[in-house]
Structure 1
Amino acid sequence: MPNKFDPGFGQKYAHNTKRIINKDGTFNITRKGIRNQQFQTLVDMPGTRFVALVSAFYILVNILFAFIYMILGAEHIIFINSYHLPDFLKSFFFSMHTFTTVGFGSIYPQDPLTNFVAGMEAMLGWLFFAIATGMVYRRFSRPSARLLFSNNALISPHKNGEALMFRIVNRRPNVLMEMDARVMLAVDMDEGVRVNRRYFNLKLDTSSIHFFPLSWTIVHSIDEDSPLYKLTAEDYIHKRIEVLILIKGFDETFSQNVHLRYSYTYDEIVWNARFIRNFKSLDTGQIELDIDSVHNYETLS
C-alpha cells in the first residue's frame, strides 16, 4: 500500500461529505469570511452574464443622470434640430452623449451647473470604460483549456489484470503540448465517531505525453502496489472512493501553462467495460477524431 498524504483537503471529518472536486473543476468548499472581490467576480462570471451586467449598468447610470438633468431643468439642454422630444428623452440622450464622450454637437448644455454635472459624468464615463476594457482584456488574455472528460471512468481488463482508466480530449482547435496528468485516490475510512479520509497517489502507465492532437486514455494498472488492489464494487461504495485528477499542459496560443481539475466518484465508475476508439484514418490519409464520442464505451461479458 502506497504511503498516504494530504493534498490539501484535510483528513478528519465529523461525517461524510459530498465530492471533493465538482464536475466544473471547482472545489466543493464554501469559504466563510472571505472578502468579496468584485473585479475577480466580474472576470470569472460567464460571458453572457458579464455583457448583460455591463449593459444594465450603462443604461441605469444614464437613466440616473437623465433624472438629475431634469431636476436641474431640461430647458438648459439645447437640441440643434427642428423636432421636440419629451424632457426625459432629451435628458437621457444628452446623458448618453456625455457618458460616452461622443460629442456629435447636436446637443449641448447651456447653464454652468448643467455643464459641471456633464463634466463629472464624462469623467465617470472614462473610468467606466477604462475598467470595462481592462476586464474584457483580462477575460480574453487569460489562458484556459477546455478539456472534455469521459462521463465515466472504467474498470477494464488490462495486461492480464485490471486497470482504472478514463479519457480526455481537447474541445478547442488550439494546440496543447507537454501534457502531464496526476491522479490521486480519496478513500473515506469510517471509524464510527468520525470519518478519516486518506489519499493515495495512483501510478499511471503513461503520466505525460508530448503532443495532444487526439484523445488521451489515462490508465492506472491495478496491481499489488495499487490501493485499489482486490477491491470490489461494493468496497468502492463503502469507502466512498473518489478519483481526483489534475491535468497540466502548455497552451501554444498563449505560451503559458494551463491547469484543469476533475474527479470521478464511486458511482461514476463502470466495471468490466472498455472505451470504443473515437478516431479513424480516412482514405485521404488524414485522421478523423470524433470529439463527442469520447464518452462511448462497451460492456464486456
Structure 2
Amino acid sequence: MLSRKGLIPEDYVLTRLAEDVLQPKFKAKPGKARFVDKNGTCNVAHTNIREQGRFLQDVFTTLVDLKWLHTLIIFTMSFLCSWLLFGMIWWLVAFAHGDLDQRGDDFVPCVTDIHSFSSAFLFSIEVQVTIGFGARMITEECVSAIIILIMQNIVGLIINAIMLGCIFMKTAQANRRAETLIFSKHAVISVRNNKLCFMIRIGDLRKSMIISATVRMQVVKRTTTEEGEVVPLDQIDIHMDNPVGTNGIFLVSPLIICHVIDKDSPLYKLSASDLQHEDIEVIVVLEGVVETTGITTQARTSYVSDEILWGQRFVPTVSAEDGMYAVDYSKFGNTVKVPTPCCSAKKLDEAGGIAQFKLCEGVTLRTSMRKRRASRRSRMES
C-alpha cells in the first residue's frame, strides 16, 4: 500500500480513509479463513502441483509473475551468461585460427586485438550491446566468425525483447492502478426506498478515470446440496441496484453500491442476530479500463459477518463549493445509525413490507408510551 512506500503518512493510509476512528474496530472470528483479504489478494494456497512444466510453456507470464528480486537476477544472469558463452566461442575461433600466437604484420586474424579470454569476453560485450570501441573488430578472413557475429546479434535482440518487455510489464501492471481504488472498511444494511439493502461505498483517488467500470458481488459460504454434497466455497452472484441502473458506473466521485435484499438474494433469510453467527463472506470486485494506459485493472475486497453493520448508513461526502463539487474523504467510511428492522427480509415481506412494519412499530410505541404514562399517574396518586 501507499503507506508502506512512504508516500503518505500512516494516519492517512487508505484503510483509514474507509474507517471512522470513533467506531469500534471489528475483528474477524478466530479461525475464520478469508477467501479474499481486505487488500484484494486471494487467500488461496496452491499445493501438490505435479505438472510444474506447464509454467515453462508460458515463460513470459512466469517471468512477469516472479518477484522483483528474482526477475532482476534472471535479467542480469541472462546477459552475463550470453556474454560468457559467446566470449568462449570467440576465444575458440581465435585459438583455432592461430590469432593468439604472435605473427608477422602480414597475418590477418579473424578478430583483431584478441590475445586472451579477457579480450574475447570484452569483444563479446561490444558485439551484443553494440558499443564498438574500435580496437577490436571482425575481418573477412573467417566465414565462421561472420556467422557467429550474426547469431550473437540475433540472440542479443531476443534477450533484449523478452527481458525489457518483462520489466515494462511488471512496472505497468494493472494492479498498481488499483492501489488508488478504495472501498469502505465496513458494509452496512439499512432501509433504502422502503427496501432492506446491503450497501458498500467505493471511490477513486485519482483524477484520471476508470473507463467502463463495472462492479460485481458474490457471496461465498459453505453450503450443502440436496444430495448431501458439501461445497466448502460456494460462490453465489448477487444482483446490484447501482445508481445508474446497471453494473456499469461513472466513478468520478465516491458511490454507494446497493444490493436490494429480495427473495432472490442469498441474504434474504438473514436477520441481525443470524448475521453474527453466520459464516459468510461478501466479495466485491471493481473492474475497468485505465484511461491513461488502456490496461484493464481490477480491485477486490471482501466483508465477513463482523464487518457488516446492521442498521447503519453512510454519511454524505460530496458537497457543492464555489461552483464545483468537493469530496471529503475523511467521511468516506463514516456511518450513522438509522431505524432499521432487525428481522430478516423474508419475515419483513411476510409481515407486509417496510410500510406495515413502520405502522406496527408506531402502534407498539404509542401503546408503550400510554402504559408508561398510566404507571406514572398511578405512582403520583399513591
Q: CA deviation at 1:157?
A: 3.0
Letter in 1 for 2:237: N
Q: Which residue is equivalent to 2:204?
A: 170
Q: CA deviation at 1:125?
A: 0.8
Q: CA deviation at 1:18?
A: 4.6
Letter in 2 for 1:169: G
- Distance in 2 between the 1:288 and 1:60 partners? 57
- Given the alignment, which residue of 251, 254, 263 partners 1:215? 254
- Distance in 1 between the 2:327 and 2:119 partners? 58
SS at the partner of 2:260? strand
- Given the alignment, which residue of 27, 40, 45 partners 2:61? 40
Q: CA deviation at 1:260?
A: 2.8
Return 5+ residue gaps in structure 2 as ranges: 1-30, 101-108, 339-382
Larger CA deviation: 260-269 vs 181-190: 260-269
In terms of fraction of residues, the more helix-rich structure is 2
- The CA deviation string for residues 204-250 of structure 1, in whole angstroms up to 9 with x for no partner, is 23143552211222122345654324535664465421213343435
Q: Which residue is equivalent to 1:30?
A: 46
- Residues 119/220 of structure 1: CA separation in 2 closer, same or farther (3 Å cut): same
Q: Which residue is equivalent to 2:105?
A: none
Higher RCO structure, 1 or 2 (CA under 8 Å, sep 6+): 1
TM-score by length of 1: 0.66
Q: Which residue is equivalent to 1:187?
A: 221
Q: Which residue is equivalent to 1:202?
A: 238
Letter in 1 for 2:333: N
Q: Which residue is equivalent to 1:266?
A: 304
In terms of fraction of residues, the more strand-rich structure is 1
- Distance in 2 between the 1:61 and 1:276 partners? 61
Q: Which residue is equivalent to 1:107?
A: 136
Q: CA deviation at 1:38?
A: 0.9
What is the alpha-carbon root mean square deviation over aligned residues?
4.5
- Residues 230/26 of structure 1: CA separation in 2 closer, same or farther (3 Å cut): closer
Is the Cα contact below 8 Å between 2:221 and 2:235 reproduced in 1?
Answer: yes
Is the Cα contact below 8 Å between 2:83 and 2:121 reproduced in 1?
Answer: yes
- Distance in 2 between the 1:141 and 1:40 partners? 14
Percent identity reads 22
SS at the partner of 2:79? helix
- Residues 174/297 of structure 1: CA separation in 2 closer, same or farther (3 Å cut): same
SS at the partner of 2:241? coil
- Distance in 1 between the 2:231 and 2:264 partners? 22
Query: How many equivalent residue pairs?
Result: 277
SS at the partner of 1:271? strand
Q: Which residue is equivalent to 2:151?
A: 120
Larger Rg belongs to:
2
